[in-house]
Chain A
Amino acid sequence: MPIISANLTRSGGMPTAEELRDRLLAGQTLLADTPNHLMQVVDVLESYGEVLDAYSINLIYQAEKQFLNPLPVWKYFDGDLNPARLWRHLIHDRINFEYAEYCQKAMFWHGTGGLDTYLDSEAFLQNCAAIIQRKTRRDPLLALLHPLFPGFILELIRSAATTHALGQFWRVMSDLFLDLARAEKDGRVTSIAAVVDFIQAGLVAAAAKPIIYGVEVGGESFWVLPPEAALTFLVDVAVPYVEAVFLRGMPFLGTVSFNAQAQQISPDQATFAYGALYADPLPTMGSGIPPSLLMQDMYRHLPERLHRWYDSTTRGEGDVRVKICMSFQKSMFCVTNAAIAGTFPHPLDSSEPSEQKANQAYASAWAERLARSRTDCLDASDEAPGRTGA
């Protein structure tokens, strides 16, 4: 049978901003509601939940126990240093915590939202001054460096604060995704719309959860993010996280040139479109594509059902991590969907014209941004016949 190359390529749809807006306003899900999508999304989120659990534990450990450690050689061990774990670390039989740090860096670097504003506040600087004073008393290296480079320790504490906040955020998300998987198994969740509702409910329930962070220096306890800063889960961490990781992201060395003369990267971070919703899944596992680390981690925690389905499509095990990435992108659209639905300024069924208008404006703003994202994954064209087997 001759091979026609056109049959080997496939492109999903490209809904316009108007279509997306209408779907959001009508309360429809962005992702096509099919049983296969449900399976992909729930199962990939389950493995994501497992991975986030490990990430969250490690980030919180790093922020609390490796605070201002100049040589954090054992930072990925969660304080559990034993020969077996060391060996597994050496043969790289472990979770890629580097990816968690990468997300932390993205969030810190983009610096949006309430947490970031607090990091520049007077109260925060005072807390830091106390910590630094206590720390430099015992630590000659830092005592020497601090006067020479006054911003050094401060910046490290800010970074640690973001690390801890992200750890707390992922704690919630991990539990939520694992709950979702249980709910689907119990038959409580049977459609994509139910998935979006479930996540939305989870986010709303956690919205007001306080984000706090304290460290112990020289036997003394200090607040870095005190309760009185009143930082909360949804607005101060979740929203900046979505902005930094889902939407903006950071350019991948493997696909974008950093050459200043080529001007491929915008000077304005706000216009960045490299995030999870925009990234191209095809080069996954290639060089210079950081999300490969996450795909590998999820691959190692893949639920049986999803794994079987992957094995039966396209190249089976051969391109499983690209397929994970595609499912993951679908599931991230569901999460975004839930976040948007949960943050509409007014209820969608409101009949007040001014409220409707505000809702429309909000939906338009989102639709405008999403129209350029990888919306081709939203339809179910990947379930077309002829894809199975190789």
Chain B
Amino acid sequence: MLSLLLLIPLLGAFLLLFWPGQPVPGRMRNVAIAVLVAQLLWSLRVMLAFDIHDGGMQLRESLQWVDSIGLDYRLGIDGLSLPLVLMNGALTLVSAVCTRDISQRPRIYFALLLLISGAVNGAFLAENLLLFFLFYELELIPLWLLISVWGGAERAYAATKFLIFTAVSGMLILGAFLGLALFTGSVDFSLTPIMSERLAMGSQLLLLGALLVGFGIKIPLVPFHTWLPDAHTQASTPVSVLLAGVLLKLGTYGLLRFCLGLFPEAWALVAPWLAIWAAVSVLYGSLAAIAQRDMKRMVAYSSVGHMGYILLAAAAATPVSLLGAVFQMVSHGLISALLFLLVGIVYRKTGTRDLEVLRGLLNPERGLPFTGALMILGVMASAGLPGMAGFISEFLVFRGSIAAYPVATLLCMVGSGLTAVYFLLLVNRAFFGRMAITPPSDPQRDARLDIELAPVASRETVPAMALALGVIAIGLVPLSLGRLSESSSTAMAQLPALVHVIAQASQGGLG
């Protein structure tokens, strides 16, 4: 059942590559969309088969592969990966749908898109460390190509930076996995928590450190974030959607699954420092976002800030906070994808993303009023306004973490307040006031400027509208998502050793 989630997109990619005749962009797009719809439908089918009361891995599939090196083909799904698989299906579809003006090499473009989606599904479903690593690497090259071939003017620099960073990330993760085998002396790459009986704490900390940095680059956490704003600004809109919505989640998923899941004891030891790291990341991302002039860079920095909440939640590792982490992954995926889509529309219509240049886009007849309305919704969701997905996620994270790390949690809440500052600046500058797309000069001239933007067709806003509805749906009926993930996040938080160690630690005054 799960294998189909890999097969559909991978076969789709091959189908596109070997599609007979000259590649017509429109047809390639339609085929890709059809494949992605099938993938999404199958993800929903998996959700129906999923038992929400079982906290462990379900629907498992396994196949002996290269047994000599412990590389088994083992797939499984739980409440942590299911929402991410669903989101992957939805967001890849969205990014295929919003790919419109692609003129060069559509065949390869869509094949790469499908390849990424399949690889990401594989990474979320893998129950074997090496298998995870393979998929993790498999997704890299297509993404790098998407940035470096179909990107903006500075794409070479951004793509190289992305490549170096993620390659280092991959090396560290692989190193940690291999080190695990090396230290324990057995080639068991299953997802079994490593306890101090099996491995000394020093080695555990070393391996955990490598994984933390590896995934920290991918998430990204300060100070390993610097590839992200460049990659986003140079990537085209669909790629940004995919990058922010799905690929960053590989990092946070790895954090929960492998860092917390494999090394619960070592995790508990470093958790207080992680909480501080989270707070620094949140504040740093938010403050840097305030100073940005490029709308896309601003959204990218906000991602850095918002990913910090997940680290905080993982550090606290209570049932509520881990559920919050899942919520935050989903809501950040939806919201940042929504924001990138809308920024993409603005860019496509006006040719700029500069906040000093854009003004008054809410203008009802000549501006982009509907895009503006959705943008207000998106930034409010991102700022954690109730009724939308961001609020319940942040609330769960904060509520689950405050008892363990009050100071770090409070600082993260300040970061949440800062989100409102920069996004309000964005909306007020670009959408309020008299419409213009020039730097302010002589007021009399500005007031006489006539502006003729191409209209936004309703089909262009359909993907954004779908995401906005998703954001509101989760915000109003969080139980829908909560029921999927609750058992798993509770199970994860109750790794016995973890609970034990945390209890000891808090007695020791760490709380």
> Is chain B found bound to chain A in the same assembly?
yes
- A residues bordering B, Cβ < 8 Å? 2-6, 8-12, 14, 255, 280, 282-286, 314-316, 318-322, 374, 376, 382, 387, 390
Taking A5-B350, A322-B366 as known contacts, 12 extra A-B pairs with beta carbons closer than 8 A to each other, sorted by chain A number, are A3-B348, A5-B437, A8-B452, A9-B438, A282-B434, A282-B450, A285-B364, A314-B452, A315-B365, A315-B455, A318-B365, A376-B450
Query: Can you show 21 pairs from A to B with CB atoms below 8 A apart?
Result: A9-B451, A10-B450, A10-B451, A11-B445, A11-B450, A280-B434, A280-B447, A282-B363, A284-B365, A315-B365, A315-B455, A316-B455, A318-B455, A319-B455, A321-B365, A374-B448, A376-B450, A382-B450, A387-B452, A390-B454, A390-B455
A-B contacts counted at CB < 8 A amount to 80
Partner of A3, one of B349, B357, B449, B455: B349
| Chain A residues in 8 Å Cβ range of B59 | none
Residue-wise, chain B 442-473 has the 8 Å CB interface mask toward A (1 for contact) of 00010111111111000000000000000000
Q: Across the interface, which residues of B come within 8 angstroms of A320, CB to CB?
A: 365
Q: Which residues of B contact A4 (CB under 8 A)?
A: 351
Top-9 shortest CB links A-B: A3-B351, A319-B365, A315-B455, A322-B365, A5-B351, A5-B437, A10-B450, A285-B364, A318-B455
Chain B hits for A255, CB < 8 A: 434
Q: B449–A11 contact, CB under 8 A?
A: yes
**Are B364's CB and A2's CB within 8 A?**
no
Which single residue of chain B is at the shortest CB-CB distance from A320? Answer: B365
> Shortest beta-carbon distance, B429 to chain A, in Å?
15
A-facing residues in B359-375 (Cβ within 8 Å): 362-366
Q: Is B292 an interface residue (CB 8 A)?
A: no
Instruction: Please indicate which of the listed interface residues B350, B351, B438, B448 has the most CB atoms of chain A within 10 Å of its own CB.
Output: B448
| Given A283-B363, A322-B366, also A12-B349 (CB < 8 A) | no
How close is B472's CB to chain A, nearest CB, in angstroms? 24
Cα–Cα distance between A25 and B451 once the two chains are bound (Å)? 33
Hey, which chain B residues are within 8 Å of A14, CB to CB?
A: 448
Report the separation of the CA atoms of residues A284 and B451 in the bound assembly, to the nearest whole angstrom. 13
Please, which residues of chain B bring their CB within 8 A of the CB of A12?
A: 448, 450
Q: Which A residues touch B445, using CB under 8 A?
A: 11
The reply to whether B437 and A9 contact each other, CB–CB distance below 8 Å, is yes
Residues of B within 8 A of A3 (CB): 348-351
* A11 partner residues in chain B, CB cutoff 8 A: 445, 448-450
Tell me if A's interface is mostly helix, strand, loop or mixed. Answer: loop
CB closest residue in chain A, given B351: A3
Q: Which residues of the other chain, A, contact B119 by a CB distance below 8 angstroms?
A: none
A255 to B435, CA, bound (A): 12
Judged by DSSP, the binding face of B is: loop
| Cβ–Cβ < 8 Å partners of B364 in chain A | 285-286
* CA of A382 to CA of B357, assembled, Å: 23
Is B129 located at the chain interface by the 8 A CB criterion?
no
- Contacting pair B452 A5 (CB below 8 A): no
B352 at the binding interface (Cβ < 8 Å): yes
Q: A12-B450, A255-B434, A314-B452 are in contact. Are A5 and B352 (CB under 8 A)?
A: yes
A282→B451 contact, CB < 8 A:
yes
B436 at the interface (CB under 8 A from A): yes
Given contacts A283-B434, A286-B363, A319-B365, contact A5 B357 (CB under 8 A): yes
* Residue of B with least CB distance to A313: B452
Q: Taking CB as reference atom, which chain A residue is nearest B438?
A: A9
The reply to whether A8 and B350 form a contact with Cβ atoms under 8 Å apart is: yes
CB distance from A367 to the nearest CB of B (A): 17
State which residues 319-349 of B face A: CB under 8 Å: 348-349
A12 to B447, CA, bound (A): 12
Nearest CB on B from A339, distance (A): 24
With beta carbons under 8 angstroms apart, the residue of B366, B434, B437 that contacts A319 is: B366
Q: Which residues of B contact A10 (CB under 8 A)?
A: 449-452
Residues on B with C-beta less than 8 A from A286 are 362-364
Instruction: Give the Cβ gap from A379 to chain B, nearest Cβ, in Å.
Output: 12
Known: A284-B365, A286-B364, A319-B366. A8 touches B448 (CB 8 A): no
> How many whole Å from A40's CB to the nearest CB in chain B?
15
Q: How far is the CB of A162 from chain B (nearest CB, A)?
A: 31
Write the nearest CB–CB distance from A180 to chain B, whole angstroms: 27
Cβ-defined contact, A6 with B438, below 8 A: yes
Tell me how far the C-beta of A187 lies from the nearest C-beta in chain B, rounded to whole angstroms.
Answer: 32
Q: Give the complex CA separation of A327 and B474 in angstroms.
A: 47
Are A315 and B437 neighbours in the complex by a CB distance under 8 Å? no
| B350, B352, B362, B453: residue with the most chain A Cβ atoms closer than 10 Å | B453
Measured between alpha carbons, how far is A319 from B252 in the docked complex, in Å? 45
Q: Is A8 in contact with B435, judged by CB distance below 8 angstroms?
A: no
A390 to chain B, nearest CB (A): 5
B72: min CB distance to chain A, Å: 49
C-alpha spacing A11/B448, complex, angstroms: 6
Q: Residue-by-residue, is B108-130 near A (CB-CB < 8 Å gives 1, otherwise 0)?
A: 00000000000000000000000
Residue of A nearest to B457 (CB): A390
Closest B residue by C-beta to A292: B364
- CB-CB under 8 A from B365, the residues of chain A are 284-285, 315, 318-322
Alpha-carbon distance A374/B450, docked complex (angstroms):
12
Kindly list chain A residues whose C-beta atoms are within 8 Å of the C-beta of B434.
255, 280, 282-283
Give chain B nearest CB distance to A3 CB in angstroms: 3
- The reply to whether B448 and A315 form a contact with Cβ atoms under 8 Å apart is no
The docked-state distance in angstroms from the alpha carbon of A383 to that of B451 is: 14
Residues of B within 8 A of A382 (CB): 450
Tell whether, in the assembled complex, residue A283 and residue B449 are in contact, meaning their CB atoms are under 8 Å apart. Answer: no
**Residues of chain A contacted by B450 (CB below 8 angstroms):** 9-12, 282, 376, 382
Which residues of A sit under 8 angstroms from B351, Cβ to Cβ?
2-5, 8
- Output the least CB separation between A255 and chain B (Å): 7
| A9 touching B436, Cβ below 8 Å | yes
Expressed in whole angstroms, the Cα–Cα distance for A316 and B453 within the complex equals 12
Contacting residues of chain B (130-146) with chain A, CB-CB under 8 angstroms: none
Chain B residues contacting A374 (CB-CB under 8 Å) are 448
List, in ascending order, chain B residues with CB within 8 A of A280's CB: 434, 447-448
Are the C-beta atoms of B435 and A5 separated by less than 8 Å? no
